[in-house]
Structure 1
Amino acid sequence: MSKIKFTALLLMAATISLPITVHSQEHPNLIMTKAGIEKVRKNLGTVPLFDASVASVQKEVDAEIALGIDTPIPKDFSGGYTHQRHKLNFIIAQKAGALYQILEDEKYAKYIKDMLFQYEAMYKTLPVHPQERSYARGKLFWQCLNDSNWLVYMSQAYDAIYDTLTKQERDTLENNLFRPFADFISIGNPQFYNRVHNHSTWGNAAVGMIALVMNDEELLQRALYGIEDDGLEIGGRDNDGGFIKVEGQKAGFLANLEDPFSPDGYYTEGPYYQRYAMYPFLIFGLAMHNVKPEMQVFEHKDNVLLKGVDALLNLSDADGEFFPLNDGQKGMSYYTASLVTAVDIAYQYGKQDPALLSIAEKQNNVLLNEAGLLVAMGIRDGKTQPFAKSSINLSDGPDGQQGGVAVLRYGNEDLTAVFKYAAQGLSHGHYDKLSYSLYEKGDEVLQDYGLARFVNIGQKGGGNYLKENKTWAKTTIAHNTLSQNEQMHFAGKYEIGSQHHSELYLYDDANENVQVVSATEANAYPGTHMHRTLAVIKSAGFEKPFLLDILKVNSDNKNQYDLPFYYMGQVLSNNFSYDSPAILKPLGKKNGYQHLYLEGKGQPATTSTQFSWLGNGKYYTLTSATDVSDELLLTRLGADDPDFNLRRDAAFMIRRKDSDNTVFASVIEPHGSYSPVSELSVNSDSHITELKVELDNNDYTAVSINDVQGNSKLFILSNNNAAPSKQHKLKVGSKTYSWRGTFHYTEM
């Protein structure tokens, strides 16, 4: 779009000083209402968790008030002082607004008013941020995303003190600060605002929230439906590698509510960014519910926002930490403030599910509004029930037809396998079709690396994404999945990957002792078809459940296949010999291989290769069916990393050369424990003596597991017919097996 057109749009927007439609309305009306606040005030002193939350916020806000207000001229990336100061300002202002409404203490209203007028005086002449890295630079912050954060929170603060201001004061703030701010992040930056992405969700919510406070219909329409004539080029790119605009794609809050969510509530960017986006989704959704209930935002797409909260909670491990699918920082959990918001709102506006109270109880904090009060009252009144996470299969894509993510759980998260067969995941997606990670309770057994970023740590790239996110974290070899010829899935190109998704073949969790998920991928490498099946199995002869992993590959050409397992712990033993180089060298030159040191190289000594390690006081053994021609590689992350931006994680890798059609079969077996206090080692050896691919053809694959007690287990998969009613009959060795359904498991 030309500068002339941008200027014309901005001038046109600047002349709109009155809302298109004017209705009388009362304040507050966003996340707090007059009726809700009356209920809160009436119950003060009688609801322990709510009272404690008020006291905690009051202590925090009072300390900031005592320090005085600082609105410095912006200059820093995230992590720097000016960034952190402006961020803290909007957080404290929002909290001060809630305190003013609840406690009716004028000092909180005065604090917000003074802060807003400092911003009003600054914003009139404020240029764009001096840091130039972002595709959409903000003014207060280095990117429009953070400016949108500011407006979402400041809208709530303004709403809380709206009635304390004179009309002249409101006009000054709205004409000199809020409307110019909303115009800048929207029509001034359509490449940020007019797309489907978590960034745009924040922008849409920001414009919509201030529109509701100011009763500005023009801004509200822009928030809900985007900018009709944005001047953006179809197929334009952003600096994250994602498309800005797609032919026929809608924009605005409702489009962001529609497209990224599947009918199951899974958000295509992954749980880390779902957590981040749920705040603007739910806060603006609540505001719309209070001001424009006829829009039925909470009911949109069959209550997908409320389903999203449930999906997100189910995408966490036993400690409440979200699985780091796609770009995701490890350690982010449902203890974050955005999930306090999500749980409280979902409780009030869902079915008041008592299981949500158990999460809120762990969070030990609630919103300072009616939703938070209801949660705290439910806990006080003994309504809490456990939030029991079980196995779940979540579809991806707006219609649920673009793959998905399956989580197989045994028992009380004694073993959890997270299998990703999803769509690309927008610009935050990784090139890791049919990858998985494995957990025992809250401990990682086989890990997903997550993202390469030190969020808000200024010393590391200004707290922003590091180049290693593209050169390592997004690459295929960085995940527990198949790499072919040292290339990335879809050649590492977003425009290719975004056109394809894996296909679910089978999901069956009916029998807790044998839970199976299976999916196929036919586009990651042209001419190659991958079919991966995971089974969480609890056998009577094994102390703990184990994971059976079968990866069947069919290709039109001979290839080199690499299958890594990123284990977490200290190597204990293996049944093969290997050579360790005197000088460490990278495993390859690009596509992530340049970051892997080759620490050891050997070959299988038997057809069942075993590799054991100790992690978090627990023993694990990987047993794989191997060919004598396979190479066994021990790798460690850290090559080509002069700034030490990457963790020094290790992997065991099976390399199979000159192969077209083949099967990788493995078992990951948790067993035993070690206590550093008693120094007692229990059950440190594997139960498995042999793992063998008994049969493999186009129709069936059969894998046997033999244990130290002389028992045998057999798993058979029908490769081409997943119909549950299909009757099968197959001879494996000297025995014939008959069964109905896609797979058959037997113990002998």
Structure 2
Amino acid sequence: MIVLKLKSITISLLLNVFTILLVFNVQAQNHPKLNLTKAGVAKIRAELGKVPLFDASLAVIKEEVDAEIALGIFVPIPKDFSGGYTHERHKRNFLILQKAGVLFQILEDEKYAIYIRDMFMAYAELYPKLPVHPQERSYARGKLFWQCLNDSNWLVYTSQAYDCIYDWLSKKERKHLEKKLFIPFANFISEGNPQFFNRVHNHSTWGNVAVGMIALVMDNDDLLQKALYGLKTDNLEVGMKDNDGGFIKVEGQKVGFFANLDEPFSPDGYYTEGPYYQRYAMYPFLIFAQALQNVKPEFKIFEYKDSVLLKSVTTLINLSDSDGNFFPINDGQKGMSYYSRELVTALDIAYLFGGENPELLSIAEKQGKVTVDDAGLEVALGLKEGKALPFIKKSLELTDGPKGDQGGLAIIRKDGLELVFKYAAQGLSHGHYDKLSYSLYTNGNELVQDYGLARFVNIEQKGGGNYLKENTTWAKQTIAHNTLVQDETSHFKGEYEIGSQFASKKYFLDISNPNIQIASAKEINAYKGTELHRTMAMIKDESLTYPYVLDIMRVTSDSVHQYDLPFYYLGQLMQTNFKYNSPKVLQQLGEKNGYQHLFEEGKAKISQENSTLNWMSNDKFYTLTAITAENDEIIFTRIGANDPEFNLRRDPGMIIRKKGVKDALFVSIIEPHGTYSPVSEFAVNAYSAIDKMTVLLNDEAYTVIEIRFKNETSKVIAIANLDNSENSKHKLTIADTIYQWSGPYYSK
């Protein structure tokens, strides 16, 4: 009996041990699981050689990674800013490591796993010995890079590589790497830099996601909680500034990944910092969302905040011109587009988890590549199967603010003309002081520009690739934008603390009629005691070849001021209908608030009712026709004064100035109207079709404008300045003509 009992116990113990080992083995063999999955890898292997775009994308990264493996492993002691050797080497390393992990999983070639392991071991040897980075410019210095932001980039990408070789590594190797590298790295980004980690900003998004990604690989719930909800700390200084002019956590403010979803995104998927930084943040947002969906599906992350992450991808595409370049709202580098690696990743993930929107496939087709993972395969299959439909960019409004109640953007499109009218919130530390500003594009070319940022990203010889001082002294200042400046002072005095409290208010928007699309907004906080009310309309007249843009800026104040309305056209001045004087020696226009960076190239005292500027850009003719009054001034400017290092572009501009008045009305039309062929040397329709513009009425309640054309047709636009109700009825009699309508505006 005893023997049998012992045998029974022995068998039972053996079975239990076997079960434990089996469970442990299943748990240990659950990688990759972030953005590549076991099922996804199996499907990819089965489809190799059958899906052209995927195969081509795989071949590109294989060639790139093989070349790096042949060169060897380099993990230099960090010393440089952006663009310098050590910075770019460590950046190159994390990009290659992520791609090598993908190749190992798909091709099952151990050389890629060996390369990743050896690179990680080199970092595990280096990292514990590193002090903070020697460059002292950042508010949160990293170790591998000059700022924690770039350290976070490194960990986001390398977490994916670690996931891909996790099961291939021995338990001893994993323990060593986690103890010496990954856990200290995650703790340094978070606990070691709460002023970086506990924020609502694209910086902290990268930090949160870096910690979250490595937490998911290691099944480390403590790190995951930090990533999702931030650090539990109460010792942060309220209102402490960073070097961007932004702020770290204010007591009571939510932090962590979910807070960075809740606060910067509007319900429409617009990211308050602007499209340039939305593009930058989309990679961590979407890559972590995909990983969470695969590992922690209970979070239902793609349903969070009414699927805001999925909306944000299509929103970002709509924030680009016809060539795919993002509008440079706030701090934005021109030329950044949806061809960037961040948008390739975001689009592929949005397609996989957002119901396989066929319109996204047409953008992927233009991008010409896919991510080499589960999402990329589905996109490539969709294209192979002919599922793509055109992504048609239409006129739309994008609200700003977490609840969509902090102003927004109106993007109005017609026949290749694109108007971007901004009445948004400040945009956090990357925001500009440019309430009610606008920019204008035609077929992908800038016509009336927003300057964007003053920075040469990752070009070492220009300030280490970082923001230049001119970003503050010029690019953020109001005079750098196409909006009104009072007394040569920027909106909110150029102070972030004030500007971040307010947003402009939409007055009305109507884009339902393709022949007149109109947006109107008010700003009452930029200048104390002054209200700005701007209405912009894109109008298509059957008698004209192209649509034109009407701009009505109405200013009312409780005291006398000087008002400047700049206009930054791009191209070559052809002709004006007024005489101006050009100085022999160029002088700066003013002393501060951006005026110190403008040369005065010419000045005119205006006496006529209409002033015109005719210019040519990309072999097309345009005319600005403005209603002017006696004693108005027109000033021709050129950017670049007080810029000894040539950090600013030498672009032209024109300012309409009204001096010594309380209230003012600026009315103008921008009219595309002709072309020039350098080959045939013929100019067609080189002159404006407008004969005269007149203010029929401008009082507290109404502003009425008449436009007369040379073809003897005319158009009248009326704005109800105090009543924006769609149901209100209006009736005016002007010079024996009765104007009667319902709603906030009239057009006929």
How far 1:246 sits from its partner (Å)?
Answer: 2.2
Task: Trace 1:662-681 onto structure 2 (pairs within 5 A).
Answer: 662-681=664-683
How far 1:230 sits from its partner (Å)?
Answer: 5.2
What are the ranges of 5 or more consecutive residues in structure 2 without an aligned counterpart?
1-25
> What is the identity, as a one-letter code, of the residue corresponding to 1:698?
E
Name the CA distance, whole Å, in 2 between partners of 1:151 and 1:133.
Answer: 21
1:286 maps onto 2:290 in alignment: yes
> What is the identity, as a one-letter code, of the residue corresponding to 2:70?
A
How far 1:709 sits from its partner (Å)?
Answer: 1.2
* Counterpart selection for 2:38 from 23, 34, 37: 34
> What is the identity, as a one-letter code, of the residue corresponding to 2:88?
Q
How far 1:25 sits from its partner (Å)?
Answer: 6.6
Name the CA distance, whole Å, in 1 between partners of 2:735 and 2:437.
Answer: 31
1:546 maps onto 2:538 in alignment: no
Does the aligned pair in 2 maintain the 1:516–1:533 contact within 8 Å? yes
Does the aligned pair in 2 maintain the 1:194–1:230 contact within 8 Å? no
Does the aligned pair in 2 maintain the 1:282–1:345 contact within 8 Å? yes
Describe the superposition over 1:452-504 as per-residue Cα deviations: whole angstroms up to 9, x where unpaired. 00000000000000000000000000000000000000000000000000000
Task: Trace 1:478-497 onto structure 2 (pairs within 5 A).
Answer: 478-497=480-499
How far 1:692 sits from its partner (Å)?
Answer: 1.5
> What is the identity, as a one-letter code, of the residue corresponding to 1:612?
N
Larger Rg: 2
Does the aligned pair in 1 maintain the 2:548–2:669 contact within 8 Å? yes
Task: Trace 1:46-445 onto structure 2 (pairs within 5 A).
Answer: 46-229=50-233, 231-411=235-415, 414-445=416-447
SS in 1 for 2:289: helix
Task: Trace 1:538-687 onto structure 2 (pairs within 5 A).
Answer: 538-687=540-689
How far 1:443 sits from its partner (Å)?
Answer: 0.7
Matched with 2:705 is 703
> What is the identity, as a one-letter code, of the residue corresponding to 1:212?
L
How far 1:734 sits from its partner (Å)?
Answer: 2.2
How far 1:605 sits from its partner (Å)?
Answer: 4.0
How far 1:732 sits from its partner (Å)?
Answer: 2.4
Describe the superposition over 1:392-427 as per-residue Cα deviations: whole angstroms up to 9, x where unpaired. 10000000000001100013xx11100110000000
Task: Say if 1:101 and 1:25 are closer, same or farther in 2 by CA, change over 3 A.
Answer: closer
TM-score (ref. length: structure 1):
0.96
Describe the superposition over 1:148-195 as per-residue Cα deviations: whole angstroms up to 9, x where unpaired. 000000000000000110111000000110000000011101111100
Name the CA distance, whole Å, in 2 between partners of 1:619 and 1:192.
Answer: 49
Describe the superposition over 1:323-346 as per-residue Cα deviations: whole angstroms up to 9, x where unpaired. 000000000000000000011011
Pairwise CA RMSD: 0.9
728-737 or 163-172, which moves further after superposition? 728-737
What are the ranges of 5 or more consecutive residues in structure 1 without an aligned counterpart?
1-21
Name the CA distance, whole Å, in 2 between partners of 1:573 and 1:187.
Answer: 62
Describe the superposition over 1:418-443 as per-residue Cα deviations: whole angstroms up to 9, x where unpaired. 01100000000000000000011101
SS in 2 for 1:686: coil
* Counterpart selection for 2:509 from 483, 507, 514: 507
> What is the identity, as a one-letter code, of the residue corresponding to 1:168?
K
Name the CA distance, whole Å, in 1 between partners of 2:294 and 2:301.
Answer: 10
Name the CA distance, whole Å, in 2 between partners of 1:270 and 1:364.
Answer: 25
SS in 1 for 2:265: coil
SS in 1 for 2:705: strand
How far 1:24 sits from its partner (Å)?
Answer: 6.0
How far 1:742 sits from its partner (Å)?
Answer: 1.2
Describe the superposition over 1:39-96 as per-residue Cα deviations: whole angstroms up to 9, x where unpaired. 1111111000000000011011111111111000000000000000000000000001
> What is the identity, as a one-letter code, of the residue corresponding to 1:504?
K
SS in 1 for 2:596: helix
Does the aligned pair in 2 maintain the 1:673–1:684 contact within 8 Å? yes
Name the CA distance, whole Å, in 2 between partners of 1:330 and 1:28.
Answer: 37
Does the aligned pair in 2 maintain the 1:271–1:312 contact within 8 Å? yes
Name the CA distance, whole Å, in 2 between partners of 1:522 and 1:25.
Answer: 61
How far 1:728 sits from its partner (Å)?
Answer: 1.2
How far 1:298 sits from its partner (Å)?
Answer: 1.1
Matched with 1:532 is 534
Describe the superposition over 1:643-671 as per-residue Cα deviations: whole angstroms up to 9, x where unpaired. 00000011011000011112100000011
Does the aligned pair in 1 maintain the 2:29–2:167 contact within 8 Å? no
> What is the identity, as a one-letter code, of the residue corresponding to 1:117?
M
Name the CA distance, whole Å, in 2 between partners of 1:461 and 1:186.
Answer: 28
Describe the superposition over 1:104-146 as per-residue Cα deviations: whole angstroms up to 9, x where unpaired. 1111111100100000000011111000000000000000000
Name the CA distance, whole Å, in 2 between partners of 1:234 and 1:733.
Answer: 60
Name the CA distance, whole Å, in 2 between partners of 1:401 and 1:741.
Answer: 22
Does the aligned pair in 1 maintain the 2:455–2:467 contact within 8 Å? yes
Does the aligned pair in 1 maintain the 2:82–2:465 contact within 8 Å? yes
Name the CA distance, whole Å, in 2 between partners of 1:23 and 1:265.
Answer: 37
Describe the superposition over 1:282-328 as per-residue Cα deviations: whole angstroms up to 9, x where unpaired. 00010000000001111110000000001100000000000000000
> What is the identity, as a one-letter code, of the residue corresponding to 2:332?
G
Name the CA distance, whole Å, in 2 between partners of 1:169 and 1:588.
Answer: 64
Matched with 1:463 is 465
> What is the identity, as a one-letter code, of the residue corresponding to 2:168?
T
Does the aligned pair in 2 maintain the 1:577–1:605 contact within 8 Å? no
Name the CA distance, whole Å, in 2 between partners of 1:694 and 1:417.
Answer: 26
> What is the identity, as a one-letter code, of the residue corresponding to 1:639?
A
SS in 2 for 1:141: coil
Name the CA distance, whole Å, in 2 between partners of 1:97 and 1:178.
Answer: 17
SS in 1 for 2:242: coil
SS in 1 for 2:167: helix
Name the CA distance, whole Å, in 2 between partners of 1:733 and 1:335.
Answer: 55
SS in 2 for 1:146: helix
SS in 2 for 1:72: coil
Does the aligned pair in 1 maintain the 2:658–2:664 contact within 8 Å? no
Q: How many residues align?
A: 723
Does the aligned pair in 2 maintain the 1:636–1:649 contact within 8 Å? yes
> What is the identity, as a one-letter code, of the residue corresponding to 1:551?
M
> What is the identity, as a one-letter code, of the residue corresponding to 1:675?
S
> What is the identity, as a one-letter code, of the residue corresponding to 1:646?
L
Matched with 2:734 is 732
How far 1:23 sits from its partner (Å)?
Answer: 6.9
Name the CA distance, whole Å, in 1 between partners of 2:251 and 2:532.
Answer: 31
Name the CA distance, whole Å, in 2 between partners of 1:167 and 1:204.
Answer: 27
Name the CA distance, whole Å, in 2 between partners of 1:455 and 1:429.
Answer: 18
SS in 2 for 1:299: helix
Does the aligned pair in 2 maintain the 1:586–1:596 contact within 8 Å? yes
* Counterpart selection for 1:520 from 512, 522, 526: 522
How far 1:691 sits from its partner (Å)?
Answer: 1.3
How far 1:731 sits from its partner (Å)?
Answer: 1.5
Name the CA distance, whole Å, in 2 between partners of 1:605 and 1:541.
Answer: 30
